[in-house]
């Protein structure tokens, strides 16, 4: 390695350390890091990206030397675009226009992207993002280049941690002994500090409420060309990865609506694979209802403070539990036993995904007495005998464990061949009796929740999601 190249590394790292202590915005700091990294190894461009909350997409937080069109060509899928980086590897791509690990080879060719060097950004041993270098000509990166890029990646991880710490301190966090709650940090630093229009900010808050992952203005679509150059582009406001859906919001100004309709029609003609919708607020509420998130006619359900688990999250977890149960009971016949009424939603979904013969039976119970002296009474017994049969007790939620403990003793008295417990929710913080839980969907905090079969005074069972509930908020609503 030449002394000049070593000097370049040193100067770049010194510049990164300097900008890290500046009062620049997070975006400008990472842009500066990208510039220093590209300059140090003689690359034409650099981008720094972090994984989204689901670790499915790479979200850009800084870049240098790359066109806006290339950066916004489409969200990068982490498991398709150089996936080895997720395993902590430094990856060299000799020719990006011919490598199947590059998602958009034609665009790379048009943008004169040839060689790529990618390194993982790791936090506490886990990959949280990556940094990539790009060259216009075929380029062979040295070991020194790779080691330098890893150093820049480590500094990027430290910069993100610093950014999150500043957000933490700025939000009024008072430590473990204080009164303020630990704030929720954003999944990535891509989320804009301000939106182009208040309706976009309201829309983003609604998406966050329902825990729907979103990207803001992630891709620009060329619509018109003249003399070989792009003269018109269209950038949808949002992209929802879970639904592979682009969304453009409309306003009340008819002239703007007409123009957006024209652009959307043109986009669909040129890019038929792109799923895009032009929505106003009411349109979006209807869309939410279609996907099982909210009730038609209202953005938020009165009394719900926040969504713990969306409909899709619940369904994914139920399917995973069903696969595990099916493996464990392979070759056996199973009896599912549930206590009415809260179990109905979970039991119905779970049994649909079991790949073995099952029968279903229900019990009903009531309580009398108060506090620790409260007792359980069975008001509806099982319809069929469970003696000598494999029984799976299916619960919607286990908190103190007292009711479940009583029911398990009752079932064991009937001498089943085996008896296990599957619960969707485990509120471990309230446990008074140690009961065995063989299959658990989610562990939840010590808060009152409703939805997906769980009720408050007989209502809210039909909500397709599970959310924390505050009666006083329902009364205000």
Positions marked catalytic: 399
What pLDDT does residue 245 have?
85
Torsional sign, CA 311, 315, 317, 318: positive
Q: HSE on the CB side for 113, CA within 13 Å?
A: 29
**Residue 141: alpha-carbon gap to chain centroid:** 35
The fraction of the chain above a pLDDT of 70, given in percent, is 82
What pLDDT does residue 320 have?
92
What pLDDT does residue 40 have?
92
What pLDDT does residue 173 have?
36
What pLDDT does residue 373 have?
57
The 10 Å Cβ neighbour count of residue 27 is: 16
Buried b (16+ CB within 10 A) or exposed e, 344-367: ebbbebbbeebebebeeebbeeee
The fold for domain 309-476 equals Rossmann fold (3.40.50)
Tens digits of residue pLDDT in 103-125: 777 777 777 889 999 999 998 78
Candidate from 95-104, 194-203, 252-261, 287-296 with smallest mean pLDDT: 287-296
**Does residue 424 carry a pLDDT above 90?**
yes
Q: Is 96 exposed, middle or buried (0-12, 13-18, 19+ CB in 10 A)?
A: buried
The 10 Å Cβ neighbour count of residue 134 is: 27
Token match 């139920």: residue? 318
What pLDDT does residue 273 have?
81
Torsion from C-alpha of 95, 51, 281, 256, nearest 10 degrees: -30
**Does residue 81 carry a pLDDT above 80?**
yes
Tens digits of residue pLDDT in 378-405: 899 999 999 999 999 999 999 988 889 9
Between 181 and 109, where is the model more confident?
Answer: 109
Round the average pLDDT of the chain to a whole number and report it: 81
Q: HSE on the CB side for 219, CA within 13 Å?
A: 23
Candidate from 51-55, 149-153, 250-254 with smallest mean pLDDT: 250-254
Nearest alpha-carbon partner for 334 in 349, 352, 351, 346: 351
Tens digits of residue pLDDT in 183-234: 333 333 345 656 777 778 878 877 777 667 788 887 788 898 888 778 888 8
**Does residue 264 carry a pLDDT above 60?**
yes
**Does residue 56 carry a pLDDT above 90?**
no
Architecture of domain 198-298: 3-Layer(aba) Sandwich (3.40)
Average pLDDT (428-448) is 89
CATH code, residues 3-170: 3.30.450.40
Candidate from 64-68, 154-158, 324-328, 458-462 with smallest mean pLDDT: 64-68
For the ranges 50-59, 236-245, 265-274, the one whose mean pLDDT is highest: 265-274
Q: How confident is the model at residue 299 (pLDDT cuts 50, 70, 90)?
A: very low
Average pLDDT (342-360) is 94
Q: How confident is the model at residue 360 (pLDDT cuts 50, 70, 90)?
A: very high
What are the sequence ranges of the domains in the chain?
Answer: 3-170, 198-298, 309-476
CA–CA distance, 349 with 303 (Å, rounded to integer): 26
The fraction of the chain above a pLDDT of 90, given in percent, is 33
What pLDDT does residue 141 have?
92
For the ranges 48-62, 239-253, 390-404, the one whose mean pLDDT is highest: 390-404
């Amino acid at each position: 390695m030449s002394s000049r190249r070593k000097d370049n590394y040193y100067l770049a790292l010194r510049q990164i350390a300097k900008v890290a202590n500046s009062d620049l915005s997070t975006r400008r700091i990472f842009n500066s890091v990208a510039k220093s990294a590209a300059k140090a190894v003689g690359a034409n461009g650099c981008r720094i990206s972090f994984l989204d909350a689901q670790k499915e997409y790479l979200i850009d937080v800084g870049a240098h030397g790359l066109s806006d069109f290339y950066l916004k060509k489409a969200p990068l899928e982490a498991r398709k675009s150089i996936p080895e980086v997720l395993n902590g590897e430094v990856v060299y791509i000799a020719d990006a226009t011919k490598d199947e690990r590059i998602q958009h080879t034609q665009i790379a060719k048009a943008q004169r992207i040839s060689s790529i060097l990618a390194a993982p950004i790791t936090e506490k041993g886990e990959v949280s993002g990556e940094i990539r270098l790009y060259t216009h000509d075929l380029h062979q990166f040295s070991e020194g280049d790779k080691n330098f890029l890893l150093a820049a990646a480590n500094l990027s991880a430290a910069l993100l941690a610093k950014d999150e710490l500043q957000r933490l301190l700025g939000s009024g966090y008072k430590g473990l002994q204080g009164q303020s709650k630990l704030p929720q940090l954003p999944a990535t630093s891509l989320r804009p500090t301000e939106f182009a229009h208040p309706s976009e900010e309201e829309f983003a808050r609604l998406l966050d409420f329902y825990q729907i992952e979103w990207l803001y203005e992630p891709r620009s679509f060329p619509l018109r060309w003249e003399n070989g150059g792009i003269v018109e582009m269209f950038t949808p406001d949002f992209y929802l990865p879970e639904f592979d859906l682009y969304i453009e919001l409309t306003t009340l100004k008819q002239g703007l609506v007409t123009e957006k309709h024209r652009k959307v029609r043109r986009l669909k003609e040129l890019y038929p694979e792109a799923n895009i919708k032009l929505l106003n607020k009411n349109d979006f509420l209807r869309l939410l209802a279609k996907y099982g998130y909210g009730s038609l006619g209202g953005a938020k359900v009165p009394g719900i403070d926040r969504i713990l688990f969306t409909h899709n999250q619940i369904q994914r977890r139920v399917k995973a539990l069903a696969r595990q149960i099916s493996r464990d009971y392979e070759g056996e016949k199973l009896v599912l036993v549930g206590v009415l009424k809260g179990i109905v939603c979970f039991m119905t979904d779970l049994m649909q995904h079991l790949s073995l013969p099952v029968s279903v039976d229900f019990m009903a119970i009531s309580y009398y007495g108060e506090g620790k002296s409260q007792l359980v009474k069975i008001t509806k017994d099982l319809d069929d005998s469970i003696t000598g049969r494999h029984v799976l007790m299916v619960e919607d939620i286990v908190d103190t464990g007292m009711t479940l403990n009583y029911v398990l003793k009752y079932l064991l008295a009937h001498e089943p061949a085996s008896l296990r417990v599957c619960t969707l929710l485990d509120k471990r913080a309230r446990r008074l009796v140690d009961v065995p839980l063989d299959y658990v969907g989610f562990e939840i905090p010590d808060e009152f929740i409703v939805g997906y079969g769980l009720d408050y005074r007989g209502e809210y069972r039909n909500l397709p999601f599970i959310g924390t509930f505050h009666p006083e908020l329902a009364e205000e609503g």
